[in-house]
Amino acid sequence: MDRLTELLGNAYPPVAIYHTSTVPDGCEKPIETHCVINSFLIPAMKEGKSVCGGPGDMHCGGPLSGFCIEEGGRRERLLDAYSSKNGYFDSPERVKRNYIDPLRLPFTTDEYIVFEPLDRTMERGVEPEVVVFLADPLHISALTVLAGYARESDDAPVEMRFALGCENLYLMPMIESRKENPKCIVGFTDFYVRKIIDPDKFSFSIPYALYKKMNANADDSFLTRGKWNQPYDPNAKHGHHAQKSDS
């Protein structure tokens, strides 16, 4: 267990995501289900499994682009669905400008994608591409603060926007990984995913280069000094701002 994971004390351990040309030892095929959150992420995060699959294991079109496997023109078919039908955007043009066009990457030449506990990836001697936490608001707050602890630029260290769950997990942090000052991605803003994930949890995806910096900074940060993880206190809302009555 690395230092960040130890100090954070999150309910679920972090999961590593990476592409590979061969199936690593000890990997299982994903179960046959519609959503890759159920077939890849949850078994890795909640059951400690290593899950490895290719295009034939994706039973939804989303991860073909969300995992940078292939395009197939599917996302362009969402122009009307995400505007006039579902009302996520006010027009097909805005779907294209604000969702489809910004979320593009070249597709991988590796056949497989792996989800597994980060510790296991480290034991293999493999550098993951993305590290993902499933976190509640307290731990998202802690990860956000740590991401900005030694940030070189003055912009926000975290981005949160609409995308499919698989795009939140992999595609968006991989786009960030190509930038000089990458951001973390808070995800699971996809309403379908909200039906199958813990109601108080969001994904927090970190490009691996940034994760290494956050891990290196963990001991010097607030994680080792202070009251950041004190339990909820219903009386704390009054705190030191409460005014005593004169009566």
The Cα–Cα gap between 111 and 52 comes to 10
CA angle 197, 202, 206 (to 5 degrees): 125
pLDDT in tens, 159-204: 999 999 999 999 999 999 999 999 999 999 999 999 999 999 999 9
Q: Is the pTM of this model over 0.85?
A: yes
58-77 pLDDT, tens digit per residue, is 888 788 888 988 754 567 78
For residue 124, what is the DSSP state? H
Q: Could you give the CA distance from residue 15 to residue 46 in angstroms, rounded to a whole number? A: 10
Rounded to an integer, the average pLDDT of 90-106 is 92
Q: Which two tokens stand for residue 128?
A: 């993951």
pLDDT one-digit tens code per residue, 202-237: 999 999 999 999 999 999 999 999 789 987 888 876
CA distances in angstroms from 55 to 21, 74, 199, listed in the order given: 13, 14, 29
Instruction: Provide mean pLDDT across the span 85-97.
Output: 96
Distance between CA atoms of residues 186 and 172, nearest Å: 10
Calculate mean pLDDT across residues 116-130.
97
Which is nearest to 71 in space by CA: 107, 35, 98?
107
Q: Among 31-35, 94-98, 146-150, 159-163, whose mean pLDDT is lowest?
A: 31-35
Residue carrying the six token digits 């940030």: 151
Instruction: Report DSSP state, residue 120.
Output: H
